[in-house]
């Protein structure tokens, strides 16, 4: 793990303390004021460094979206609050049917909490969950009714399992870009791949990348 410089640690401490004392994180300019840094970019350099070293997560174009990571709390010797450490709450979308699923809205009525360890280091805030419908990925061990944990991302690496919006349906497939089209490959010997021409392809079609699968097993049913 990369070490922090004195200045970076000071800023990280300030962010943590402000978050606790005021209830929300500071802005870049507030940090600059406290640290006697006249230029917002001076502060930004530090924030970038903290993010790169894994002590801070940021949102793009979002004010005050500075959230220290677990590692940051450990470094600063601030004991985590009880058993809550490492848990994230994931919005649970029902069995996604037709139409653009409510990714934008994300009503929190239903949610699942999960150990962030099981997400393999992915930031829990960019993950949603949904239930699988159908057998199209059975050869990859993804069954009907399974819970999928999906990292929101508009792109994917070839061969990765993604959730994509195809013909207004959210479906789970493997992603294979080819020269002039995209192949969405089911993992089921009885099913054919779906092809989408690059010209028809919008980045919004890929909703995210599957990072985890959970299946309830009880009473012996598969």
Active site residues: 136, 173
39 touches, from DNA, a copy of itself, none (C-beta below 5 to 8 Å by class): DNA
Q: Are 141 and 202 in contact (CB under 8 A)?
A: no
Region binding a copy of itself by CB under 8 A among candidate stretches 2-10, 45-53, 191-199, 205-213: 205-213
Burial (CB count within 10 angstroms: exposed 0-12, middle 13-18, buried 19+), residue 3: exposed
Stretch of 3-11, 46-54, 84-92, 189-197 lying at the interface with a copy of itself (CB under 8 A): 84-92
Q: What, of a copy of itself, DNA, none, does residue 84 touch, CB below 5 to 8 Å by kind?
A: a copy of itself
* Binding partner of residue 54 among DNA, a copy of itself, none, CB cut-off 5 to 8 Å per kind: none
State the virtual CA torsion across 157, 159, 164, 169 in degrees, nearest 10: 170
DSSP designation for 139:
G
Site map for DNA, 36-65, x if CB under 7 A? Answer: xxxxxxx-xxxx-x--------x-xxxxxx
- Interface mask toward a copy of itself for 143-182; x: CB under 8 A: x---x---------xxxxx------------x--------
- Inter-residue contact 137 to 161 (CB < 8 Å): yes
CB of 148 to a copy of itself, least distance (A): 9
Three-state secondary structure call for residue 152: strand
- At a CB cut-off of 8 Å and minimum separation 6, what does 156 contact? 162, 175, 206, 209
- Positive or negative, the CA dihedral 30, 31, 34, 38 is negative
Report the residue number, 44 or 153, with the smaller CB distance to DNA.
44
Antiparallel, parallel or unpaired: β 56-58 and 66-68 = antiparallel
Q: 3-class SS at 23?
A: coil
Interface with a copy of itself (CB under 8 A): 14, 17, 19, 21-25, 27, 33-34, 63-67, 81-84, 86-89, 104-108, 112-115, 117-118, 120, 122, 125, 138, 140-143, 147, 157-161, 174, 210-220, 222
């Amino acid at each position: 793990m990369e070490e922090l410089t004195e200045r970076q640690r000071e800023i990280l401490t300030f962010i943590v303390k402000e978050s606790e004392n005021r209830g929300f994180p500071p802005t870049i300019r507030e940090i600059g004021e406290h640290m006697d840094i006249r230029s917002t970019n001076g502060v930004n350099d530090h924030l970038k460094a903290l993010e790169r070293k894994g002590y801070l997560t940021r949102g793009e174009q979002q004010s005050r979206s500075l959230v220290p990571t677990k590692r940051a709390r450990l470094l600063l010797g601030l004991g985590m609050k009880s058993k809550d450490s490492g848990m994230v709450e994931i919005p649970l979308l029902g069995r996604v049917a037709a139409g653009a699923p409510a990714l934008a809205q994300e009503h929190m009525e239903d949610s699942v909490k999960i150990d962030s360890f099981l997400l393999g280091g992915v930031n829990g805030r960019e993950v949603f969950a949904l239930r699988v419908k159908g057998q199209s990925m059975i050869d990859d061990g993804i069954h009907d009714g399974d819970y999928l944990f999906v990292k929101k991302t508009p792109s994917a690496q070839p061969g990765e399992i993604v959730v994509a919006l195809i013909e207004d349906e959210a479906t789970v497939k493997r992603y294979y870009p080819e020269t002039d089209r995209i192949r969405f490959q089911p993992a089921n010997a009885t099913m054919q791949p779906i092809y989408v021409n690059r010209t028809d392809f919008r980045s919004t079609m890929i909703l995210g990348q599957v990072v985890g699968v959970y299946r309830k097993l009880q009473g012996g049913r598969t």
